[in-house]
Amino acid sequence: MSRLAGQRIVLGISAGIAAYKSAVLARLLKKAGAEVRVVMTEGAQAFITPLTLQALTGEEVRTSLLDPQAEAGMGHIELAKWADIVLIAPATADLMARLAAGMADDLLTTLCLATRARCLLAPAMNQAMWSHPASLRNAATLVDMGWQQLGPDAGEQACGDVGGGRMLEPEDIVAELEAALSGQAPAPGMLPLDTTPEHDDHAPATDAFMAASNDATPGALAGRHVVITAGPTREAIDPVRYLSNHSSGKMGFALAEAARDLGAHVTLIAGPVSLATPEGITRTDVISAVEMLEAVNATLPSCDIFIGCAAVADYRLAEVAEHKLKKVPGSPDLTLNLVENPDIIAAVTHREDPPFTVGFAAETRELARHAHDKLVRKRLDLIVANDVAAPNLGFGADDNAAVLYHLVPNGPEDPVASYTLSPRPKQDLARALFEYLLPLFQAHQPTRSPVAP
């Protein structure tokens, strides 16, 4: 039986094109056995009708704070107390701004202020709106207030743009709720749901992610060996040309500094980058993917945490030309015979005694789907997904954003938990990433003893 069975869920719908997904979400929640009552903003009704949601839930849909019949019994307060979970999907930029400001100018925002239930939202907006500093500030404010943010995903949008801001698919949202109710200790960034029947005794939501980060003391990784790959690889074509990518290595170097500050012994395996070696870190320079794999293999006997942050080239030349390839007059095309490079991450995770392994997924579309696939296929403990199509983030930039995914042990069909790290300087993102992974690493129970200082 689904863990959502019997849960009382208020589904809030605001005015975005993704509101059409809310009908599917309502159906899935009902199918899982939840009691669902829908609250729609005035703008949401321009995208989907209350009658549709009423037919799917079997409950009257609330749309107005000033409904004389409902408010005769203080209906918005009654609804706020009734809920175990308040889930807003889609949550538009406007709604998030009003929630962050503490406004109560319609039924949905009013009940959010009045409830002591668990509150979650699934952002949905244009990629430029999502990356705007005001939207990011509001998202961070809501997380600080105790809201759990689900997504957003990245990919093609209704307006034709490509980037972050897509609402998670209904199935992914339901999986998040199932995982939170799995009976396991909540993952960092996932607040525990109160499943007791006494609804008036709900404790106010708190920021579990920040609570978990209390473990990130300066000595939290003392005696542990952290190995990090960073930067691009270069695959030679001839003595003067090569295949590569735009990775600068900044994220990997920031992670190395963060691990060092937590007391770890850090080995940084760097592709060809122009960055100075951080103080107190052992650095090995490599050029190609094959060289990087050799350097990684040399560290694994003592490695406790491996972070594959490097942008490793997927292919290399089957045979590197001994001399510079010359343009042939009358032959405008050049064919290169490529072979697949070794999979460094898979080589680490498929060992008999692998370290705690973190991978990266740099994507331009369908961020969640590709990250989920890589997480499972490569047996990762955690994957950090980046939307490299987002402006001013990712390759070469000083700032970055990420969505973290990992499997919840013993959850329903191994559901995937996620946590979004909003755009910030890469040094700050690196620290936040370690704050998140520390409880996961501790639960991983590595078999190696800490190395001597």
Q: Which residues are annotated as a binding site?
A: 308-310, 314, 324, 342-345, 360, 374, 378
Is residue 393 within 8 A of residue 401, CB to CB? The reply is yes
Name the burial class of residue 298, with classes exposed (0-12), middle (13-18) and buried (19+) by CB atoms within 10 angstroms of its CB: middle
Torsion of Cα atoms, 199 then 202 then 207 then 213, to 10°: -120
Is residue 388 within 8 A of residue 363, CB to CB? The reply is yes
Is residue 227 within 8 A of residue 265, CB to CB? The reply is no
Bond preceding residue 90 cis, omega within 30 of 0: yes
Q: Measured at the alpha carbon of residue 134, what is the angle toward residues 132 and 136, in degrees to the nearest 5?
A: 70
Distance CA 67, CA 313 (A): 60
Helix (H, G, I), strand (E, B) or coil at 30: helix
Residue type, 161: D
Extract the tokens encoding 299.
């560290």
Extract the tokens encoding 159.
């307006």
For residue 444, give the H/E element and its range: helix 426-444
Task: Give 3-state DSSP helix, strand, coil % of the chain, rounded to 5.
Answer: 35, 25, 45
DSSP β-ladder status, 8-13 and 35-40: parallel
Distance CA 22, CA 364 (A): 25
Closest by CA to 57, choosing from 15, 28, 91, 79, is: 28
The secondary structure of residue 263, as a DSSP letter, is: T
303 is catalytic: no
- Of the residues 112, 119, 159, 303, only one is catalytic, namely 159
Is residue 385 within 8 A of residue 367, CB to CB? The reply is yes
Helix (H, G, I), strand (E, B) or coil at 316: strand
* Annotation: binding site for CTP: 308-310, 314, 324, 342-345, 360, 374, 378
Distance CA 58, CA 39 (A): 13
Residue 247 CA, chain-centre distance (Å), reads: 20
Contacts of 227 by beta carbon, 8 Å cutoff, 6+ apart: 266, 267, 269, 296, 299, 300, 303, 305, 306, 307, 355
Closest by CA to 432, choosing from 262, 232, 180, is: 262
What residues act catalytically?
159
